[in-house]
């Protein structure tokens, strides 16, 4: 039923406020997930007075890469302090908030169907841009404002719950790492400075584990879990349940760049041919190595080849500190307790993310 549909151009208008008075030098871009982010463009020597000044309640979108990315990067600015965006961006606002709520409109922009329609309207350029007129010709449902606010409030309640759970998880992870630092960091510095400590030693990682290259899997699997395989060197936490009986650590070892991360793998995802499985002889060491390796200088293992990567040989020979076993057990027990809470929160987050998707897909039926 499309009785409440209207073209977008009847409800939004372009605005072109420039940073002529140099109010701010904070340059933002928009990612394909439709959030503002610090710009990666080199603006040294650039005249920022020509950039567009965006304030709370205004939208911006990058119309250039829609055909390439199959998404329209568009976002609603919700911060109190203004920022600036590229002069090439469209910046616009809702004409009448009593008819169309800006948060409701942003929800519509997040629908996969919206991106597919935008992709169909792209031009024939290499990157596939979209014009302002084409955006204005897009249709969307505009129910009574009370219904819009009801939808928005439901969506906000879900997103706030997700943010709360994620914050709790971040705090729990920080607590585990603080305990790791307290129990091990001082002695690590002593040992690697060349001094000796009774019952503490340095061994190659092969002393604790065996290693195996992963098999090919589609990049979408890792992307869905937040680990895009093209983003350089990362240690990720997903391994093939058919390859190994229990979860292990996984190193994504090709494209070495940036800072690595370590995560313990639930046995629910495939290894890629870009990864190395770390098969521990004693699983008691999983949590210890999780926090040890993610803060170690593994980037130094880059082979320096044309396609930078870490090899099994280099990883197996990497030196790690070996504390007394009782210390490892003590830390593992603490980490297990807190990570069990993290895992439960992650399960709830997954459910809430699905609810968000359902809410977005049902907008057009309201």
- Check: CB of residue 212 under 8 Å from CB of residue 227: no
- Residue range(s) in the chain whose domain bears CATH number 1.10.287: 144-185+328-366
Query: What DSSP line would sit under 284-330, residue for residue?
Result: GGHHHHHHHHTTS-GGGG---SSS-B--HHHHHT-EEEE--HHHHHH
CA dihedral defined by 301, 304, 307, 311, rounded to 10 degrees?
-40
Task: Return the CATH architecture of domain 201-322.
Answer: Alpha-Beta Complex (3.90)
For 150-186, give the DSSP string: HHHHHHHHHHHHHHHHHHHHHHHHHHHHHHHIIIIIH
Of 129 and 251, the structure prediction assigns the larger pLDDT to 129
- The mean predicted confidence, pLDDT, of the chain is 82
pLDDT at residue 119 is higher than 60: yes
pLDDT in tens, 269-285: 445 556 777 888 898 99
Kindly report the three-state secondary structure assignment for every residue of 46-96: CCHHHCEEECCCCEEECCCCHHHHCCCCEEECCCCCCEEECCCCEEEEECC
CATH of 5-142, one of 3.40.50.300, 2.60.120.10, 1.10.10.10, 3.90.220.20: 3.90.220.20
Helix axes 325-361, 145-180, angle to 10 degrees: 170
Q: Which of 12-26, 123-137, 167-181, 314-328 has the lowest mean pLDDT?
A: 123-137
Paired residues of 275 in beta bridges: 252
pLDDT in tens, 330-354: 999 999 999 899 989 999 999 999 9
| 183 φ/ψ sector (left φ>0, alpha ψ -120 to 50, else beta) | alpha
Angle, helices 286-293 vs 325-361, to 10°: value is: 70
The CATH number assigned to the domain with range 144-185+328-366 reads 1.10.287
Residues of the chain with CATH 3.90.220.20: 5-142, 201-322
Higher-confidence residue of 36 and 231: namely 36
Q: Tens digits of per-residue pLDDT, 210-222?
A: 887 765 444 444 4
In this structure, are residues 13 and 48 in contact, taking their beta carbons and an 8 Å threshold? no
């Amino acid at each position: 039923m499309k009785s409440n549909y209207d073209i977008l151009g009847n409800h939004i208008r372009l605005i072109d406020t420039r940073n002529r008075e140099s109010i701010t030098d904070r340059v933002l871009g928009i990612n394909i997930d439709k959030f503002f982010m610090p710009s990666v463009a080199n603006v040294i020597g650039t005249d920022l007075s020509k950039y567009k000044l965006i304030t709370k309640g205004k939208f911006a979108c990058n119309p250039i890469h829609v055909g390439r990315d199959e998404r329209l990067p568009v976002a609603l600015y919700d911060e109190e302090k203004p920022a600036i965006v590229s002069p090439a961006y469209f910046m616009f606002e809702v004409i009448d908030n009593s008819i169309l709520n800006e948060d409701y409109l942003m929800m519509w922009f997040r629908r996969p169907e919206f991106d597919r329609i935008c992709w169909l309207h792209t031009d024939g350029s290499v990157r596939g841009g979209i014009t302002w007129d084409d955006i204005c010709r897009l249709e969307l449902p505009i129910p009574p404002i009370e219904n819009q606010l009801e939808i928005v409030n439901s969506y906000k309640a879900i997103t706030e719950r997700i943010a709360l759970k994620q914050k709790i998880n971040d705090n729990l992870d920080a607590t585990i790492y603080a305990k790791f630092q307290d129990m091990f960091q001082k002695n690590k510095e002593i040992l690697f400075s060349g001094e000796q400590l009774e019952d503490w030693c340095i061994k190659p990682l092969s002393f604790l584990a065996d290693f195996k290259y992963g098999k090919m899997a589609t990049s979408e699997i890792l992307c869905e879990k937040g680990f895009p395989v093209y983003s350089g060197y990362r240690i990720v936490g997903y391994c093939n349940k058919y390859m190994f009986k229990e979860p292990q650590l996984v190193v994504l070892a090709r494209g070495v760049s940036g800072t690595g991360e370590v995560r313990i793998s639930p046995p629910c995802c495939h290894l890629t041919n870009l990864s190395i499985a770390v098969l521990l002889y004693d699983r008691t060491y999983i949590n210890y190595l999780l926090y040890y390796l993610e803060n170690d200088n593994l980037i130094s293992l880059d082979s320096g080849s044309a396609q930078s990567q870490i090899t099994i040989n280099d990883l197996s020979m990497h030196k790690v500190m070996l504390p007394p076993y009782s210390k490892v057990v003590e830390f593992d027990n603490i980490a297990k307790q807190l990570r069990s809470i993290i895992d439960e929160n992650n399960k709830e987050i997954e459910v809430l993310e699905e609810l968000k998707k359902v809410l977005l897909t049902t907008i057009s039926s309201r």
